[in-house]
Structures are given as C-alpha cells and as structure tokens.
C-alpha cells in the first residue's frame, strides 16, 4: 500500500488578497477559535500534524497555546522553521506517530485527511499521541466543488480539487469519525470546511508529557 500524501493544488489561502478568500478565511478562523476557546484552559501542549508552512500553527501559538508542528515533507518543514522560528517543527508522517515520546492535549489536523490513502490508519496513529482532544478539518465536499466550478476550475473533474481522494459531507464525516471510535464534542460547518472537535472516550488525560 502506498501510504503517502496525494498531491494537490498549491494555493496560499492564508496570505491571499482576494476579498472573497479573505472573508472565507476570516470565518474559518473565527469558527476555529470559537471551538478552541472551549478547551483552551485544558490544553498545555498541542501539535499540528500536516502543518504545511505553519500558518495555522502560528495562529494557534498566537492564541497562547504552546504548539509544535509536523509535516512529511522536509522542504515544507524548512519553510515553516524559517517563517516561524519560535515554534518547534518536525518532519514526520501522519502514519508513523508512535515514535513521539510524549502526548498532546490537542492534536490538530487541518485539510490533510482528504489527501490520504488510508485515513483510518491516520486516525489510529493520531489517537496514539493524543491525551484527550483531536480537532479535524476537511473540505465540505459539495460546497467545495461548487466553489471551484464557480471560478471555472477543475471542470473536467466536476470541481474536485487535484489530490482530494476522500470526499465527505457533514453526515458522512460524522459517521466516519464515530466509526473510528471518536466522540464528537462539537461539529461545525464553516462555509467550505467541516470542523470536528473530538474526544477519545476513556483516554487518561493525566498522561505525562
């Protein structure tokens, strides 16, 4: 089995000056912050898996949460280190998190799951390093495709972004998470994205870091 990330389009939405993208990203961050605010006092250490260039990692850090970042691509990690030198970044596959010698109160995985050959294996690995909370975001597939079509992108693929091999609606994503044994604390649709804050039932949140 090829357990690697699938390629996709490269678009830096975090620094986009497109007014519509700015509005969408503002809502995205507002919704994300609203979810995180509910558990912030419980989070002593967090990690973002599949952090890319570290823009979201930096945002969480700016909220006052101690956080690390990890991505499978060394070149991307080097960029993140250069852009955000105060945050620890590692080169690590989401399929092999067992090598971490500590656990995290919050594991954040944003816009990664849709690219994975084996999202179930990824969840199992994420659970291994989470004390309690997992926060996942994925494209809201139908809305995401319609947004692409409206800007005349990827029309031959009915608006499917290159590299997106898993497709979820609100209902199917809920079912997927529950099937992995996760308890959904909050689920939110943030226009183009689905956000799910999950807890691992029975997980001892007093594990050492």
pLDDT tens profile 128-142: 999 999 999 999 999
Whether the CB-CB separation of 139 and 192 falls below 8 Å is answered with yes
Please enumerate in sequence order all residues whose Cβ is within 8 A of that of 60, keeping only pairs 6 or more positions apart, or say none. 36, 46, 48, 67, 108
Average pLDDT of the chain is: 89
**Helix segments in 131-169, DSSP class H:** 141-150
What is the number of other CB atoms lying within 10 angstroms of the CB of residue 6?
14
pLDDT reported for residue 99: 81
pLDDT tens profile 108-129: 999 999 999 999 999 999 999 9
Please give the Cα distance from 193 to 184 (Å, whole number). 16
Please give the Cα distance from 161 to 153 (Å, whole number). 8
pLDDT reported for residue 30: 96
In the chain, what are the domains? 14-199 (3.40.50.150)
Q: Is the pLDDT of residue 82 over 90?
A: yes
């Amino acid at each position: 089995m090829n357990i690697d990330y699938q390629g996709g389009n490269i678009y830096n939405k975090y620094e986009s000056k497109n007014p519509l993208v700015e509005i969408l990203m503002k809502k995205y961050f507002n919704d994300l912050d609203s979810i995180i605010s509910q558990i912030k006092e419980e989070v002593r250490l967090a990690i973002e898996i599949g952090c890319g260039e570290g823009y979201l990692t930096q945002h969480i850090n700016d909220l006052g949460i101690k956080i690390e970042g990890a991505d499978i691509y060394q070149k991307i990690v080097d960029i993140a280190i250069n852009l955000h030198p105060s945050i620890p970044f590692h080169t690590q596959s989401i399929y092999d998190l067992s090598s971490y010698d500590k656990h995290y109160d919050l594991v954040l995985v944003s816009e990664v799951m849709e690219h994975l050959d084996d999202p179930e294996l990824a969840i199992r690995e994420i659970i291994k390093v989470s004390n309690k909370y997992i926060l996942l975001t994925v494209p809201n597939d139908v809305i995401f495709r319609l947004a692409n079509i409206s800007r005349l992108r990827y029309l031959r693929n009915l608006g499917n972004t290159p590299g997106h091999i898993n497709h979820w609606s609100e209902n199917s994503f809920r079912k997927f998470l529950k099937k992995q044994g996760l308890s959904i604390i909050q689920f939110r649709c943030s226009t183009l994205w689905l956000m799910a804050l999950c807890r691992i039932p029975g997980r001892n949140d007093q594990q050492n870091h």
